[in-house]
Structure 1
Amino acid sequence: MPSQPRIAMVAGEASGDLLASLLLGGMRGLWPDLQAFGIGGPQMASQGFDAWWPSDRLAVHGYSVELLRRLVELVRIRHQLRARLLAAPPSVFIGVDAPDFNLALETDLRAAGTRTVHFVCPSIWAWRADRVEKIRRAADHVLCIFPFEPALLAKHGIAATYVGHPLAAVIPREPDRAAARARLGLPQEGPVLAILPGSRSAEVQYITPAFFKAAALIRKALPAIKMIVPAVPALQERITACARDCGMQDALQIVTGQSHTVLAACDVTLIASGTATLEAALFKRPMVIGYRMHPVSWRLMRRRQLQPWVGLPNILCQDFVVPELIQDAATPEALAAAVLEWLAACQSRSDRVTALQKRFAALHDILARNTSELASDAIRQIIEA
């Protein structure tokens, strides 16, 4: 094993940046002087990662239309990265999520003799089951964040390790609501709604207007409510403009980042489907999941959907424990009504909220592992092999 391994990584979007930064922290426990480089974001950079391209360059939305618009740029970046890694092969390549980008790159690198690890199993159990063969060709090993995935991959001859979900280790089992509200300048009493419209550019286009119009209806019903929006820095200006267009610029507190603090502070969240919904579940917060995309993308995705649920909390619980309002169902009126139901349940301390919190606490226990250590040990074994 090299004393200072050279580790290439690609992480796309804010969620991948977070997962990769936690993995980097664990690997530095084994190799304090490791070199890590590739495509990453600010949280990876805080771990000493050398980002040749920023992770937000990989952010795409939907299944076909939006991806086609970005295809030329994505292919060019992948071609340049592949050439650079083939010219100076790393000790291991770790693709963090972003399967459309990473699996093809991993396949080429593996064929050339570079060991490859894919961190976060693509959701072959939810949709895109055809990706199984791509994973088998691409990855020497898959690091799985959900406990049922290794057995599923083993049926297809793919080596995998369950490492738990990194977020379950960093999110406290009992979030400090009072401290979070104080940090954000929110009152200790009274309802707080967190609005998380997503971290991708097209999500701002398709989702944010419906969310903010729903927020206007919620405010009309509950004038004293506080509403806070954690915005990805690159999208904050557009989110602020959307709030202004919806006449909500004075009603919404828009902050840069701080999504975990916002989730800890809120009573309920209106949230776009994605990793953030799992974060909200780990914070034990009632939520309404909404999502909208280009109509063509939606039709294509629905044909490949293997389960009745879209949101991660519902998929993991195998039940509609929180409402999902997707595409045409995600009207401002429907979103507002679902949020107001949760807010009323929180105010009355109903059994519905208690039952949900118990489900989410059990989920937290299942997902909480020493992910950094388990993942780093699996990567060490791959490098030593």
Structure 2
Amino acid sequence: MTLHIGMVAGEPSGDLLAARVMAGLQSGAVAAGEVLFDGIGGPAMRTQGLDCRHDMAALTVFGYVDALKRLPGLLRTYHDVKSHWLEQRPDVFVGIDAPDFNLRLEHQLKHAGVPTVHFVGPSIWAWRYSRIHKIRESVSHMLVLFPFETAIYEKEDIPVTFVGHPLADLIPIAPDRAQMRRQLGLDAGARVLAVLPGSRASEIRLLAPRFLQAVRILQAQDPALQLLVPMVNAQRRAEFEAILATHPVANLKVIDCGTTPGRPAAWDAMEAADAVLVASGTATLETALFKRPMVISYVLSPMMRRLMAWKSGQEKPYVPWVGLPNVLLNDFAVPELLQDDATPEKLADATWTALTDKARAETLAERFLAMHHTLRCDTPTLAARAIYNVATRHAG
């Protein structure tokens, strides 16, 4: 039996996640017979055999203005894959994240009789819960990364499977701080802070000056404090270094992507650090999986705040936290300094506590270890089994 699976991933993280699931489906442990994949993806998915109709760059947009500029191309891509799958009719369609694109496509395919799986649940627990109605109409089965999400979909009678988080499979249970410091040429006994002002240009523009001013306050307390700043690419590094030139600090080392082959630069910084000052996002979960104390911060421009409030109808999320570690622990386990609270003085004060309070760091590490075990579920295999079951159940 040949299984035909349509897939769409719109970002590098989705490309990597989809590629691992594709490998699981082709391993023979889940699906018997040949598995064929086509759709939209990136280099990792192509390596696993994706017949790529469009590169995922076709779906990559940066903010609302870019989305408007790219709208004609996005619509052409959408109509092309929709027409292709309505004609070819895959055994199952799998949309990986990218909800604005994928949920619309899933709605069309499901109503044409193609079973649909959506992998990575939108953050309806924080913003725009009303999207649940679109999900119910569009998705045959949800695959979610966090255990608390299952109750949301079960309550709404949407089939759901918790498959764990792929980062929990990839990040070591016991990080080796000493080894990573040797690799990066850092003193084993130094006090080290990882500074992660974000991976987007807007994040670096808004957060890097505040973070660097906070670092200067910290270095007044400890002149020997070492700083690690990982960058995702050369463009982000150039933007950061332009800000650094106007906010100079001592003992700062920029880590480029590829310093450790096949591994994000941020992971090297987190593993070597005593604490992390980090922009809200996936990096906060990575920091927790590396068992490091952290301070989470985020700042939106006034225009983006207004746009988000208009789009969501909310000024604030439903939950009292924005950081994933706090959401998962259902507690303010680590500080969050957002918007007007993200002053250099407050950032420095909270970060100094993260660097120096060893008892608190040990307690956090224990809580993060328990979280790590909860999320470590062999995500690719669980997801592959769920996708195969949806395809064969509907075929039968």
TM-score (norm 1): 0.87
Mapped contact 2:229–2:252 kept (Cα < 8 A): no
Matched, 1:378 2:386: yes
1:327 to 339, 354, 362: 339
Distance 1:297 1:220, change over 3 A: same
Matched, 1:262 2:269: yes
**How much identity, in percent, do the aligned residues show?**
44
Distance 1:57 1:217, change over 3 A: farther
Q: Which amino acid aligns with 2:382?
A: L
For residues 335-355 of structure 1, what are the alpha-carbon distances to aligned partners after superposition, in whole Å with 9 as ceiling and x for unaligned? 22211221121xxx2x21111
Q: Distance in 2 between matches of 1:81 and 1:336?
A: 49
Distance 1:103 1:342, change over 3 A: same
Matched, 1:287 2:285: no
For residues 268-315 of structure 1, what are the alpha-carbon distances to aligned partners after superposition, in whole Å with 9 as ceiling and x for unaligned? 111111111111111111011111123243351653511111111101
Aligned to 1:143: 143
Aligned to 2:370: 362
Distance 1:152 1:181, change over 3 A: same
Mapped contact 1:194–1:229 kept (Cα < 8 A): yes
Q: Distance in 1 between matches of 2:363 and 2:349?
A: 20
Q: Distance in 1 between matches of 2:242 and 2:131?
A: 38
Q: SS of 2:39's equivalent?
A: strand
Q: Which amino acid aligns with 2:103?
A: L
Distance 1:200 1:70, change over 3 A: farther
Aligned to 1:308: 320
Counterparts of 1:113-262 in structure 2 under 5 Å? 113-233=113-233, 235-248=236-249, 251-256=252-257, 257-262=264-269
Distance 1:266 1:79, change over 3 A: farther
Cα shift at 1:140: 0.9
Q: Distance in 2 between matches of 1:180 and 1:213?
A: 27
Q: SS of 1:207's equivalent?
A: helix
For residues 23-67 of structure 1, what are the alpha-carbon distances to aligned partners after superposition, in whole Å with 9 as ceiling and x for unaligned? 233223236964444333454455454552235852545xx6775
Q: Distance in 2 between matches of 1:284 and 1:332?
A: 25
Q: Distance in 1 between matches of 2:98 and 2:378?
A: 23
Distance 1:29 1:312, change over 3 A: same
Structure showing greater radius of gyration is 2
Q: Distance in 2 between matches of 1:217 and 1:37?
A: 53
Counterparts of 1:89-108 in structure 2 under 5 Å? 89-108=89-108
Q: Which amino acid aligns with 2:371?
A: L
Q: Which amino acid aligns with 1:54?
A: M
TM-score (norm 2): 0.85
Structure 1 window deviating more from structure 2 (166-175 vs 244-253): it is: 244-253
Q: Distance in 2 between matches of 1:377 and 1:40?
A: 21
Q: Which amino acid aligns with 1:29?
A: S
Structure 1 window deviating more from structure 2 (323-332 vs 74-83): it is: 74-83
Q: SS of 1:16's equivalent?
A: helix
Q: Which runs of 5+ in 1 are unaligned?
A: none
Q: Which runs of 5+ in 2 are unaligned?
A: 258-263
For residues 74-107 of structure 1, what are the alpha-carbon distances to aligned partners after superposition, in whole Å with 9 as ceiling and x for unaligned? 4444344434444544333222222222211221
For residues 309-328 of structure 1, what are the alpha-carbon distances to aligned partners after superposition, in whole Å with 9 as ceiling and x for unaligned? 11111011111100101122
Q: SS of 1:128's equivalent?
A: coil
Q: Which amino acid aligns with 1:295?
A: P
